[in-house]
Amino acid sequence: MTDIHGNVPALKAVLEEIDKRKDVEHIYCLGDMIGIGPDSNEVLSMLFSRSNVSMITGNHDEAILALLKGQEYPKSHSQIREHHQWIADRLDPSFIIKLEKLPRMIRKNINGCQLLFIHYHIENRKLNEHISNDPFSSIVEPSLENVEALFKHYDEDLICFGHHHPTHLFRGDNAIYLNPSSLGCNNKPTAPYAIVTVQDGEIEVSLKEATYNNSSFLESYHKLQIPDRDFILKVFHGNQI
């Protein structure tokens, strides 16, 4: 799962579906748990309380952390700084250290296959750069040709990423590239995620969507007077209200 963006009812819907299954061993969350949506504390509480979830940071998580720690804020995010400050001002301080400890990528060998979990491509020279230096800035519209070029220095069999909110699933000669789509930002009341099965050196990807009632969540943007709410509801939620 990826890009929950502070949407707790969407996350609940997905976790309820996953918990009903008997074949899910672990959950990988590919960053941007917070930002855009208002439910930061609830989302992080749900994720950090589970023993079967591994997380990495995304650009929104790191930009909000920079504000919380009084560090330089990324210029590329300047248009949403007020919104990020609103999130930061309401974040439970106990989550700061937990977010700081999260990595930017996870590599795993599962049943003979190499898997990479990353929010988006980061150039090698920027792997340890602060968010103010825009390590996630190499944004291109995903296509098989583009992602093969972006990740050409990686040798994993499956590369899972987020950042772009539409779904992407490409099978190249050397790797499968999977973006399950933003779980929390959609133009309909569904929360996308993916089930990956790795067995005997083979990888199978099944794209899923959990349905949920998002009316109260969307209305909360106005009730809470969230900065940039009209833009967010239009661009990230398809003006559903």
Element housing 105 (H / E): strand 105-110
pLDDT digits (tens, 9 = 90+) for 84-115: 999 999 999 999 999 999 999 999 999 999 99
Q: What are phi and psi of 45, to 5 degrees?
A: -60, -45
Along the 241 residues of the chain, how does pLDDT read in single tens digits? Answer: 999 999 999 999 999 999 999 999 999 999 999 999 999 999 999 999 999 999 999 999 999 999 999 999 999 999 999 999 999 999 999 999 999 999 999 999 999 999 999 999 998 889 999 999 999 877 788 899 999 999 999 999 999 999 999 999 999 999 999 999 999 999 999 999 999 999 988 999 999 999 999 999 999 999 999 999 999 999 999 999 8
Q: Are 88 and 68 in contact, with CB atoms under 8 Å apart?
A: yes
Q: Are 39 and 218 in contact, with CB atoms under 8 Å apart?
A: no
Q: Are 121 and 83 in contact, with CB atoms under 8 Å apart?
A: no
pLDDT confidence of residue 135? 92
